[in-house]
Structures are given as structure tokens and as C-alpha cells.
Amino acid sequence: MFDFPLDAWYVWIGLAVVSTAALGVGSALPSAMPPDASGSAQTVDSVAASEHAAIGKHPLSNAETVRIGIDSISLRGPGGKSHAAFGYGPVTPVTHDSRLKSVLQGEPPMTVFDSPVTFKQVTRQAQRAEPRWKGTDELIVRRVSWEGTDVVLVG
């Protein structure tokens, strides 16, 4: 008595609308997990907490771009964005066009910079720079000390 007749046009239209809505919701779900920013932040913290010169690397396999600030890191990938704060800081973000990149990759600061004062000025400028999104597949962290300037380089 209360059954819907399956040959009625309004039943078929309603079924088509519900099916289309379900398909739209299903296709809007992300297909990948967001990148792991907390693992990257832990790598930075482990190097920053060291009392001696140290280096650490962390793969960013699920991230397309990274943004490094003096107190946090953000990752963006196909699954969305993630953000994590550093427990130790501030750190010094390194850009690709900076002389600090050579130091980050292993060069001693005394071979790249003329004096400890210049090294300190460049690190302070890098800390004041506005963070930008950059593409990379690996995070490198290095703690460097040179005549009173003790920094954690992250790039």
C-alpha cells in the first residue's frame, strides 16, 4: 500500500539525483595522505638539540613543496597540507640561491664566508626573510658553529 511504483518517473529521477550526489562526494575525497610534517620537524629538533655539529636528512617523498620558517615547517602534496612547529629554534632557512646552501651541503663556513661577522649577518638576513614554497625531495638539517655564531641551517 505504501510502496513506490518502480515505473513512476519521479522515482527514477530521484534515484539519478542521489546517485550523482554520491558519485560527487566520492570523487571529492583525497586520494593520498597528507605529507608528514611532524617527522620533518622531529629531524630538525634532533639536530638542533645536539650540543655538537650535526647533520640530519629526512626524505619528503609525499610532499611536492615545502615552506620552512624560523619556527615551523609546512608541507604540501597531493593529499593536502600539513604543518608542524619546531621544539628548538629559531632555525635558519636556506634558499637555493644563498651562500648558506654550500654550508648546508657540507662546506665549512670559513671557506664560503670572509669572516664570522659576514656569516652572522647572512644568517640573520635568512632568518628575517619571508618563507616561500619550494619544491624538493629531501630535507637537510645542519648545525654549524663558527666563532660565536651557532645556527641550525634547514633547507
3-state secondary structure of 125: helix
- The rounded percent of the chain whose pLDDT value lies above 90 is 57
Nearest to 133 by CA among 82, 76, 57: 76
The Cα–Cα gap between 100 and 4 comes to 73
Span 57-88, pLDDT tens digits: 999 888 899 999 999 999 999 888 999 999 98
| 118: amino acid identity, one letter | T
At 53, the pLDDT band (50, 70, 90 cuts) reads: confident
Q: Are 84 and 35 in contact (CB under 8 A)?
A: no
H helix runs in the chain, sequence order: 9-28, 37-48, 100-104, 109-112, 116-128
pLDDT: which is higher, 95 or 141 = 141
